[in-house]
Amino acid sequence: MNLQELKQKCKATLASEYENIELNSLMSILFEHITGWDQLKQVLNKEQKLPQVKIDQFHKALTSLQEGMPIQYIIGKAWFMGHEYIVNENVLIPRPETEELVSWIIDELKVEDQKSKVTILDIGTGSGCIPISLAKNISNATIYALDISSEALKTAKTNAELNNVTIEFIEADILNLSKLPQQFDIIVSNPPYVRALEKEQMQENVLKNEPHVALFVEDNNPLLFYDKISDLAKHHLSKSGQLYFEINQYLGKETIDLLASKGFKNIVLKKDMFGADRMVRCSF
């Protein structure tokens, strides 16, 4: 079976489950991953017969796609701010909204004097995409990243090595910490914030494959992590330090009210590219 025939077979198998644009994108990513050929080479080599081992890989991936597994988990990698990251069942797949959060931090730091050192902590780091991206863009930063999951931290450490940056990783449960290891100029977090009642709005492949510990909170205490992290930030932000959060789009007002009640000031709520309340920045 040649490449063209295999592509046609794959598309026919998945046609009822994916729209054409999404399907073409999935096939391009999958075929490049397995063959090592980019889109141009795929066109040039469309008549080339594939070895059986490659065909078997495609059939296995096809089955996973039919079962709803995200393409990022199938190929074991995702992209964030133009760089490649290893992803697996222990970490969330990086989202474009989180890129906006990171870009916000970078842009605001560029306005300030970057000659002085900056110390940053990312809480709930997962794949490490937030601290790694900050390290690649802020040359004068010392960056720490914390997560409760040892398996997630293994992935994050590997991603830091692949992206040639130095991050100090900390394994800890933020909800059980009474203090942070030091003062920080920036604390950033994209903590679990999806309420159980919102599960029905989510895609099935997310619910079946991505780690629930990194996604969900109880309906009766949806700001649990924001409450705890902001309490710690009050005592561990430097004099001109900033706290950044990615937030639940339905709880923007509640998040602002929580921060204001704790004495935070200069609170800014920012929308994402889709027009949803998604990020908050404040100081103490």
What's the predicted TM-score (pTM) here? 0.91
CA distance 158 to 85: 9
DSSP-derived secondary structure letter, 124 = S
pLDDT at 199 over 90: no
CA distance 237 to 125: 18
pLDDT digits (tens, 9 = 90+) for 235-249: 999 998 999 999 999
pLDDT digits (tens, 9 = 90+) for 32-68: 999 998 888 888 888 888 899 999 999 999 999 888 8
pLDDT at 114 over 70: no
CA distance 143 to 257: 29
pLDDT at 111 over 70: no
pLDDT > 70: percent of the chain = 98
Instruction: Give Cβ neighbours of residue 73 (< 8 Å, ≥ 6 apart).
Output: 64, 87, 88, 89, 93, 209
Residue 85, Cβ density class (10 Å: 0-12 exposed, 13-18 middle, ≥19 buried): buried
Q: What would you report as the CA-atom Rg of the chain, rounded to the nearest whole angstrom? A: 21
The structural domains of the chain, with segments of one domain joined by +, span 3-67, 89-283
What kind of architecture, by CATH, is found in domain 89-283?
3-Layer(aba) Sandwich (3.40)
| pLDDT band, residue 208 (cuts 50/70/90) | confident
59-81 mean pLDDT: 93
| pLDDT band, residue 201 (cuts 50/70/90) | confident
